[in-house]
Structure 1
Amino acid sequence: MTGVQAIIATLGYVLSADGREVLMIRRDTRPDDMHFGYYNGLGGKLEPDEDVVSGLRREVREEAGIECDAVDLSGTISWPGFGRAGENWFGFLFRVPSWSGTPLQGNDEGSLHWMPVADVLAGRLPMWESDRHFLPLVFAASPSVFHGVMPFSNGRALSWSVS
């Protein structure tokens, strides 16, 4: 019997000091990007020598030019079939309530924007449709760590379950 083999990734939501805005990347540099035109948190694939928090800190440093001072685990999501070629992904999602530095305007994947959390939660930004399932858990007023499973097929979420 074999277990799930997956690409391990981080996804971080950097918050403004008052918690009302979140720094997001708009994937707008490569038209062949499967995320093209979508807003997303910051993050990416874990390197072999990293723990998930170190990986998140590195990704935020590379993508936004800032340092994460505090990192709170929001939850985990297993995304079987999410990858372009059907790869399984497993993500560790974080809130970053405290950071230092001056955010970049963008990077080689897209432009960076401070977006109102209310707009993110209301679906007023172009994003993965499936993000609406877990973002209320990430941005909850009294968050608790969640663990979800969201199978994908042909670029669309098939279902969502959380515990």
Structure 2
Amino acid sequence: MRAVIATLGYVLSTDRRQVLLVRRDRRPDDLHLGYHNGLGGKLEPGEDVVAGMRREIREESGLEARTVELAGTVSWPGFGRDGENWFGFLFRIPDWSGEPYAECPEGTLVWTDLADVLAGRVPMWPSDRHFLPLVFAERPAVFHGVIPFENGVGLDWHYSRTD
């Protein structure tokens, strides 16, 4: 299977009660328009996933990620605009420096209560609700999940953990 390799990061507030999300509200042709999402994007040629995550955090938020914790991976077969397969490395960023931008080319950056994210009170891809409890678990373990997509809808969810 060929896939677009990407990163998706969740910057946590120092008290771990909020997460920095991008409200995708800039580009009318954005597949994610209207949704809140973590920060991230495609890897560049020759870039490892941690370097790619740090670059994306810097470019989209202006922050420097000091600590990057692997939460897990998710395979999204059929997710892209034309049915491309995506494979993402998901990270928690609990330690960072700098002041976040108010916005980036993808949208407005907003500190969002983690409780609201986990309770489904924030507009996000419905399929994100499967893996976000694993990303933000009190005692996280690295997981590897699959969410097959068809016509913009996640069809299923299953995962394995490394513990």
TM-score normalised according to structure 2 size: 0.97
Counterpart position of 1:148? 145
Q: Does 1:136 align with 2:133?
A: yes
Number of matched residues?
160
Counterpart position of 1:94? 91
Runs of 4 or more off by more than 4 Å in structure 1? none
Amino acid of the residue matched to residue 135 of structure 1? L
Counterpart position of 2:51? 54
1:29-48 map, 5 Å: 29-48=26-45
2:10 is paired with a residue of what secondary structure?
A: strand
1:29 is paired with a residue of what secondary structure?
A: coil
Q: Deviations over 1:81-109 (max 9, x none)?
A: 00000000000000000000000000111
Distance in 1 (alpha carbons) for counterparts of 2:91 and 2:105: 22
Q: Deviations over 1:15-51 (max 9, x none)?
A: 0000000000000011211100100000000001100
Distance in 2 (alpha carbons) for counterparts of 1:87 and 1:25: 23
Distance in 1 (alpha carbons) for counterparts of 2:37 and 2:120: 12
Amino acid of the residue matched to residue 128 of structure 1? W
1:63 is paired with a residue of what secondary structure?
A: helix
Distance in 2 (alpha carbons) for counterparts of 1:10 and 1:32: 21
Counterpart position of 2:154? 157
CA RMSD in angstroms, aligned pairs only: 0.4
Distance in 1 (alpha carbons) for counterparts of 2:105 and 2:68: 24
Counterpart position of 2:2? 5
Distance in 1 (alpha carbons) for counterparts of 2:155 and 2:67: 34
Identity rate, percent: 69
Distance in 2 (alpha carbons) for counterparts of 1:48 and 1:93: 19
